[in-house]
Amino acid sequence: MTINWQQEAEKLEPQLLSDLTTLLKINSERDTDHQTKAYPLGPGPAKALEAFLTIAERDGFKTLNVDNVAGRIELGSGDEIFGLFGHVDVVPAGPGWQTDPFVPVIKDGKIYGRGTSDDKGPSIAAYYALKLIRDLGLPINKKIHFIIGTDEESEWVGIHRYLETQPAPDFGFSPDAEFPIINGEKGIASFKIDQKPIAAAPAELTLTNFSAGIRPNMVPQVATATITGDLPETFATQATAWADEAGVKLTLTLGNPTTIEIVGKGAHAQEPKDGKNAGTYLANLLADLPFDPAGKAYLLMVAKYLHNDSRGKLLGINYTDKLMGELTASPDIFTFTQDGEQSVLVNVRYPQGTDADTIRDQIETTLGADKVTVSISGHAQGPHYVPGDDPLVKTLLQTFTDHTGIPGHEQVIGGGTYGRIIKRGVAFGAQMPGQENVMHQANEYMPIKDIITAVAIYADAISRLVK
């Protein structure tokens, strides 16, 4: 039986876009401020999960809801379990959108909205691939479990809860990255740098507040500082010229206190160079001014060790592995008040050959244990790699090449996907080679033709792996 996968996928476009629109309209940011017993991660993620499972039930699939934090769609039978791993939670929308991030807009062949490329668009493509396989009556000799998480962008509560009570797949992939494949993922850890208390002393300026960032895995787009005291007369002119040269937006509201806001560019923390870190730019602007001792030390630390250094060289943590490439470091959450917390959270993606404990020690040594304490924030995930000669990797690469004519090759990324949750797990699509990466950025979108092509590639690949 010869199947034109692309033609079959194209037939599904109207219904697919309708279902994707349903998912995109749900603000599924993690919202534990409004958690309940029924909604452990807040109502949004649970509602998105429910909507996805409802779509599958409408189409006749058997589903499972695990405590409103994870779900499963099932197909086939057999001794082995092939897993698909998607997620319906999203990072916060953040500023800079030209449209409402939760009102999907189709323009110039692209669908815009938070979650279009990460990961509602690719997940719905994988779902329609399953539906296509079933509707065509193709042979399936394994169980297929499409596992849907609701906390991938944060602490992975959903997928861990799922694996506590449900069987782990033997092998599989996550539609949550890019083609041709991601068979290696760097380790991920966040390091909290807390400035130790510094005695107050008279100063011309006092930094009363400094803040930036909303999530550990997002380069902060906006940073704000509040200052008391009289700024130099030339500051406004010099700051405006500096902002123009730096390519950031400056808003200066003079008064007592004075407020300064910097707007840079958000990006995924896996590649900080894709953004402009508003927090480090603001510290760089202010660091030379005559601030109070605590404010001065904080600004100098950020400007000297964290500004425009995505590879951690200034922190003394830079490391490169031949297979996995360079370590990346992204300072993503800044918190400073005079009488409260004075910290920076740095998100690090590290290759094999180093580890979180080593990196923690290196940061503390560089900054000085007498000045800061450094701790690992949350759970550190070690590097993950599935060899290129694994049949899973070889099959996925060959399928991609058969559909696109583009030679497949191994890839390692700094991003973290559910693919790493099992030993023989990888990430596969759905971003096409050469396509702009807009994950975690304002005005996120995905080309509709790429979603449909992903359906075709996924259906063919899954069919090859489960027959």
Concatenating the DSSP letter of every residue in 395-424 gives: HHHHHHHHHH-PPP---EESS--GGGGSTT
* pLDDT > 90 in the chain, percent: 96
Annotated catalytic residues are: 89, 152
Position 203 scores a pLDDT of 96
Rounded Cα–Cα distance for residues 331 and 176 (Å) = 24
Which regions of the chain carry the CATH code 3.30.70.360? Answer: 188-381
Is 360 in a helix, a strand, or coil?
A: helix
Is 262 in a helix, a strand, or coil?
A: strand
Position 256 scores a pLDDT of 87
- 391: exposed, middle or buried (Cβ count in 10 Å: 0-12, 13-18, 19+): exposed
Q: Is the separation of the CB atoms in 20 and 115 below 8 Å? A: no
Which of the listed CATH numbers 3.30.70.360, 3.40.50.720, 3.30.750.24, 3.40.50.2300 matches domain 188-381?
Answer: 3.30.70.360
177 DSSP β-pair partners: 430
Rounded Cα–Cα distance for residues 124 and 121 (Å) = 5
pLDDT band at 257 (very low <50, low <70, confident <90, very high): very high
Is 378's pLDDT higher than 90?
Answer: no
For the entire predicted model, the pTM comes to 0.88
* pLDDT > 70 in the chain, percent: 100
Class for the domain spanning 5-184+384-466: alpha beta
71 DSSP β-pair partners: 65, 148
Q: State the virtual CA torsion across 13, 15, 17, 21 in degrees, nearest 10.
A: 180
The pairing of beta strand 412-413 with beta strand 184-185 = parallel
Across 56-78, average pLDDT: 97
pLDDT band at 415 (very low <50, low <70, confident <90, very high): confident
Q: What is the pLDDT of residues 436-460, one digit of tens each?
A: 999 989 999 999 999 999 999 999 9
Cα–Cα distance list, 213 to 35, 61, 283, 352 (Å): 22, 40, 14, 28
Which regions of the chain carry the CATH code 3.40.630.10? Answer: 5-184+384-466
Cis peptide preceding 257, ω within 30 of 0: yes
Measured at the CA of 451, the angle between CA 446 and CA 456, to 5 degrees, comes to: 160
- 2: exposed, middle or buried (Cβ count in 10 Å: 0-12, 13-18, 19+): exposed
81 DSSP β-pair partners: 143
Sign of CA dihedral 40, 20, 428, 349: negative
